[in-house]
Amino acid sequence: MFYYLKQSLKVINVKRILNLSQEYVEIQLPKTILKINGKEMYISYIEGKEIIIKGKIDKIIIEDFNL
């Protein structure tokens, strides 16, 4: 079970990433907080969930919710 963040920009300050490329970020965490341009999105653990990011992205931070 993974999340795929489909984007083509550099990902900055990413914690506990299993696989990182320009095509997608693949994470496997029970609870995470996704921050895009200062806006927070709470992500629960859902199999097959896809998050598609559109528009200019200045910074993406993925943090382990349990840290």
Q: Does residue 42 carry a pLDDT above 50?
A: yes
Distance (Å, whole) CA 23 – CA 8: 6
| pLDDT value of position 32 | 54
List 39's β-bridge partners, or say none. Answer: 36
Confidence band (pLDDT; 50, 70, 90) for 66?
very low
Give the count of domains, the chain: 1
Can you tell me the distance from the alpha carbon of 33 to that of 42, in angstroms, rounded to the nearest whole number?
5
Check residue 2 and give its pLDDT. 41
What is the domain range of residue 53? 3-64
Confidence (pLDDT) at 60: 53
* This prediction's pTM: 0.26
Residues 9-41: pLDDT tens digits? 333 334 433 344 444 444 444 455 565 555 655
Type of residue at 38:
G
* Residue count (the chain): 67
